[in-house]
Amino acid sequence: MNHLKTAQVIVYIGLGSNLATPVAQINSARAAIAAQAGVQERGFSSLYRSAPMGPQDQPDYINAVMALATDLPPMALLRCLQNIENNQGRVRTGEQWGARTLDLDILMYGDQKIDLPDLTVPHKGLAERAFVLYPLFEIAPQLVVPGKGPIAALVAACPLAGLKRLDC
């Protein structure tokens, strides 16, 4: 029987948490992602603290970006990430930018542009969000974001807006 192996793609995942010990949530999510079949971790940024984007009556977020190689198709990877979120106590209230135990976003999937009801890649807010750009630049300084340009130029145009790298 002939089994064709799908080529691996480099994918960047944004991780964020502001509830239930956020640093532990991020570390647990990192381990859970790396443990998925068909996934190999290729890089992980420092942790960063940022003010919430949405309602300000919630704790600050802890954010990071993970690079991985995978042969999972985009929607299969999305389902894996959503399962990890659910397993770590994520409750989907429908509130945009509300507090959460864990938020995992596919920021980039190779150089593909994906526009589906449940998945937009590159992530639509990637180019304007310091808490995504700075950790992404840290692990992939030569990256070119499809339709947006070099990550270095995006970082140069994006103020820190209170973003702080953690020493942990």
Which residue is catalytic, options 90, 92, 115, 118?
90
Catalytic residue selected from 42, 57, 103, 115: 103
- Give the distance from CA 111 to its chain's centroid: 16
Beta strands in 24-75 (DSSP E): 39-44, 48-50, 61-70
Catalytic-role residue among 49, 100, 115, 167? 100
Annotated catalytic residue: which of 42, 57, 92, 105? 105
For tokens 């526009």, what's the residue? 115
Active site residue 92: no
Q: Which residue has the tokens 């429908």?
A: 94
Cα–Cα distance measured from residue 86 to residue 44, given in angstroms and rounded to the nearest whole number: 22
Q: How far is CA 40 from CA 69, 84, 163, in A?
A: 5, 16, 28
Active-site residue 103, yes or no? yes
Q: Is 100 annotated in the active site?
A: yes
Question: What are the residue numbers of the active site?
Answer: 90, 100, 103, 105
